[in-house]
Structure 1
Amino acid sequence: MSLSDQYPSNTDVQAEPIQLSRRRLLLGSAGAMASVSLLGFSPLTRAEEPKTLPDYVKWKNANEVIVHSANTIETERGAIGSGVVTPSDKLYVRNNLPAPNEQIVADRDAWKVSIKGVNNPKTLTIADLKDMGIETVTTVLQCSGNGRAFFEHGPGGTQWGTGAAGCIVWTGVRLRDVVEKLGGVKAGMNYITSTGGESLPAGLDPKTIQVERSVPTRALDQALLAWEMNDDPMPLAHGGPLRMVMPGYYGVNNVKYVEQVAFTEDQSEAKIQTSGYRIRPIGDKGAPGQPSMWEMPVKSWVTAPLSNTNKGRNMIHGVAFGGINAVAKVDVSIDGGKTWKQARFLGPDMGRYAWRPFVLATDLSPGEYRIVSRATDSEGNTQPPNRTENERGYGNASWKDHGVSVTVG
């Protein structure tokens, strides 16, 4: 495999080879047409589609995911179910670079991470971290491009529907606890900058391809250095042996294979930070002054029914989360948003950063319905009807886009 195959070049340093306009999405190949059901149109039978999982994720449930590429695998919209936690074998995969060799998880406790920008900088092993404390937090993990398939201008990148998201239980040590044991953060530091440990090809400027993300130091209170996911050792595909977890922040900030955490005065100079993952007008290039994909907003979507159902009593299921805040309520409409009824949450509340499955029981007569959901967070922010148009198709929380068209017979 050539370097260009392994490390495709584009303006956002993203290994996202699928670039489809809305028309191509609807009329193109079988793989593209499979995404049509995610848009609320007539679905195809996914059993007819060949599915080949890359070796590093052979343990995934092939019947519950959509394989876009070796580095981009989406959870089927109907695979979420009504539980809070997304099973690891159904969780989406989004890698900016190919996953490292499995040798890095052979001796997990020996993995090293350097902590810089503190008064007593030090390199620590996972074994050291385990002696500093332990915490478990449940969070929504969501790719910045989740919902990209709904944008009309056909932004480049993987055409995610709703399946580049999941709700995960992480276990590790709070970054704040580590920092306190190292004498605290140095004065004047404004960002937490995490660096991934993927192997980089020779001959390229590391800053053009390295996964290194900076977030404001306000994230310190919730940040976690995690070595377990859903009560198992962190899988290689999801950042094992050690991953930075930034609850309430988009997935790209949850850096995998983290080998350095630095408190810095300025944001990283890596391309993935300076021009990648920026909200910018259609046609514009990425630049440091544009909004970065940091905190997530409130969002929800329906997970069942998705295309057809029987007349009479129906249970409309979905998931809702508040992003950086807790989700407070979710309303459901069966007429495209003309009228609303409040749904009820299912299962336990697993914290501010977790999603809440919801259900609305309703009677449906034969006919066509447009089912949508609209969530509100604890601060009163309500999911918007429309998306924010932008070049890369980031941050789509539109309740209109995430609706489904259902035929009742």
Structure 2
Amino acid sequence: MPTQAPRQIAPALLSPALNRRHVLVGSASALAAAGLSTWSPCAAAQAKPLPAFASWKDATATIVHSATTIETKRSAFGSSVITPTEQLYVRNNLPTPDAAVVANRDAWEISIEGVGKPRTLTLRELKTLGLETVAMVLQCSGNGRGFFPSKPSGTPWTVGAAGCVVWSGVPVRAVAEALGGVDGGMRFMTGTGGEKLPEGLDPKSIIVERSVPASAMVDALLAWEMNGVAIPLAHGGPLRLIVPGYTGVNNIKYIKRLAFTAHETDARIMSHGYRVSPPGGKGDPSQPSVQEMTVKSWINSPGPDSTALEKGRMQVGGVAFGGMHAVKRVEVSVDGGKTWADARLVGPDLGKYAWRQFVLDVRLPAGPHVLASRATDVMGNVQPQQRLENAAGYNNTSWADHALTVSVA
């Protein structure tokens, strides 16, 4: 079959709005002003070291924001579907537990409640009840916060608080069935983390405890393995609740309690935290909770670290996912969204919860080009142009925010 000729697309004319948000590749000062990562000898010297619990991470592929927040560099995603564990982002709401919790993984205990025969099970016992594997996008609720002009408090993530990960463990539904089934009237599945809580505080004010609809148990796992190895301490080992399609905070690390409940937990991280509040407002139970993810994509290559791009043929590629639904289509624009062309989905399809890689073969003339991608899921939901403005900078799926400006010589 003859090779299809690369698509010719006219050079972009930068709009004032895009000029404010995006930067020319190679311009370190502009990159910094836009909140995008850039590298220089000075910046490298000032880079924060990896925290001890994640010292095994790849320092060249990550950005350390704080002792509990580590971002994957946009340029590090590469062209493989699965995100290597040493590059995957870290976001912990509480200090990481002592490494002693993974010294004897099989002895870890979890209490199962809201079932016919509630009891405490060890990880060793869980392993006898079933096994499944799922590939899914793990993404922090605040991924893309760094693009908000309002500069919400919290880590200014761009795209790197996400990754595509393979988890293995026992299906939650199998555990519930083994213990007599879920009790009637239980509308929620509530997970409680096993982090050590600071003394002198109301536990409900600080504990990591989240509720999701009980229907989420259909695909949920109690996972002990990640990307083929035991889950590292940094990512919630020895045992983590995995709820495919839901944002990271709902995937409870160090899970010690899984309860089917009639009501949502009243823990503050649920009742007031991770709520989509209006700009200037504060979270409360009346506002939408950050739970299911929606369709999103972004371009990784050529990216903000690309230099010396020469005019002519090149491959524009990135990742796309639908959250709760599979990706059906990805379009790419090289003129800031004025015109679009269908990209090709490449690599293996690992299921509806995983992301898909896409690529568009183009020829770019010399000059600046605004690269953007727009995904559509199988339900017909289209990635929006604009972000949903909110106080905490959650759920940014804007294709305009995630666009990149590159300069071709």
Please say whether Structure 1 and Structure 2 have the same fold, judged by a TM-score greater than 0.5: yes
In the alignment, which residue of structure 1 is the partner of 2:377?
Answer: 377
Match of 1:5 in 2: none
| TM-score (normalised: structure 2) | 0.90
Give, in whole Å, the separation in 2 of the partners of 1:292 and 1:151: 19
Q: Distance in 1 between matches of 2:32 and 2:56?
A: 23
What root-mean-square deviation, in Å, do the aligned CA atoms of Structure 1 and Structure 2 show? 1.8
SS of equivalent to 1:218: helix
Q: Specify the SS of the correspondent of 1:84.
A: coil
Task: Give the Cα separation in 2 of the matches to 1:388 and 1:203.
Answer: 37
C-alpha distance in 2, partners of 1:108/1:33?
A: 47
Q: Secondary structure at the match of 1:149?
A: helix
Do residues 219 (structure 1) and 216 (structure 2) align?
Answer: yes
Q: How many Å apart are 1:317 and its aligned residue? A: 1.2
Q: What whole-Å deviation, never above 9, does each CA across 1:129-185 have from its counterpart, x for those lacking one?
A: 100000000000000000001111111000000000000000000000100111111
Determine the C-alpha separation between the residues in 1 that align with 2:48 and 2:99: 23
Moved more, 301-310 or 386-395: 301-310
Report the equivalent of 2:240.
243
- The Cα offsets for residues 205-234 of structure 1, whole Å up to 9 and x where unpaired, read as 000100000001120111100000000000
Give the secondary-structure state (helix, strand or coil) at the position aligned to 2:215: helix
Does residue 264 (structure 1) correspond to residue 261 (structure 2)? The answer is yes
**How far does the alpha carbon of each residue in 1:182-212 deviate from its partner, in whole angstroms, 9 at most, with x for none?**
1111011111000000000111000010000
1:317-332 equivalences under 5 Å are: 317-332=317-332
Q: Distance in 2 between matches of 1:143 and 1:32?
A: 27
Equivalent in the alignment of 1:84: 81
User: Residue 370 of structure 1: SS of its match in structure 2?
Assistant: strand
Distance 1:270 1:281, change over 3 A: same
Q: CA deviation at 1:306?
A: 1.7
1:60 aligns with 2:57: yes
- Which residue of 148, 151, 170 maps to 1:151? 148
The amino acid across from 1:106 in the alignment is A
How many matched pairs? 380
* Corresponding residue SS for 1:381: coil
- Rounded to whole Å, the distance in 2 between the matches of 1:267 and 1:312 is 55
Deviation (angstroms), 1:118: 0.6
Amino acid at match of 1:279: V
8 A Cα contact 1:38 1:162, kept in partner:
no
1:358 Cα offset (Å): 1.0
Counterpart AA for 1:75:
T
Deviation, structure 1 residue 47: 4.1
Shift of 1:33: 8.1
Q: 1:142 to 1:35 in 2, by over 3 A?
A: farther
CA offsets per residue over residues 337-394 of structure 1, 9 Å max, x none? Answer: 0111111112100011000111111001000000000000011101000000000000
> Per the alignment, in what secondary structure is the counterpart of residue 393 of structure 2?
coil
SS at match of 1:284: coil
Seen in structure 2, the aligned counterparts of structure 1 residues 296 and 59 have a Cα distance that, compared at 3 Å, is same
- Give the partner amino acid of 1:372: A
Matched, 1:133 2:130: yes
Partner of 1:114: 111
Distance 2:53 2:31 in 1: 24
Give the letter for the 1:393 counterpart: G
**Structure 2 residue 97 is matched with structure 1 residue 100:** yes
Q: Indicate conservation of the 8 Å contact 2:114/2:182, yes or no.
A: yes
Identity value in percent: 56
- 1:12-57 C-alpha deviation (Å, 9 max, x unpaired): xxxxxxxxxxx9xx9xxxx998755765xx9443645434011000
> Which of structures 1 and 2 has the larger relative contact order (alpha carbons within 8 angstroms, sep 6+)?
2
The answer to whether 1:388 aligns with 2:377 is no
2:364 matched to 1:364? Answer: yes
Distance 1:36 1:85, change over 3 A: farther
Q: Secondary structure at the match of 2:348?
A: coil
TM-score of the pair, normalised by structure 1: 0.90
Provide the residue aligned with 1:344 in structure 2.
344
Structure 1 letter corresponding to 2:221: L
- In the alignment, structure 1 residue 142 sits paired with structure 2 residue 139: yes
Contact kept, 8 Å, 1:66 with 1:73, in 2: the verdict is yes
Q: CA offset at residue 68 of structure 1?
A: 0.2
Aligned partner of 1:210 in structure 2 is 207
Q: What is the letter of the counterpart of residue 123 of structure 1?
A: T
Residue 37 of structure 1 contacts residue 44 of structure 1 at CA under 8 Å; is this kept in 2?
no
Matches of 1:378 and 1:403, distance apart in 2: 23
Residues in 2 aligned to 1:132 and 1:32: alpha-carbon distance in whole angstroms:
55
Q: Does 1:285 align with 2:271?
A: no
What secondary structure does 2:174 align onto? helix
Contact 2:47 2:64 in 1 (8 A): no
Query: Over alpha carbons, which structure has the higher Rg?
Result: 2
Distance of 1:386 and 1:190 partners within structure 2: 33
* Counterpart amino acid of residue 310 in structure 2: N
Match of 2:292 among 292, 295, 301: 295
CA distance in 2, matches of 1:306, 1:221: 38
Letter in 2 for 1:59: W
Unaligned runs of 5+ in 2: 1-19
**SS where residue 401 of structure 1 aligns?**
coil
**Residues 82, 346 of structure 1: 8 Å contact kept:** no
Match of 1:18 in 2: none
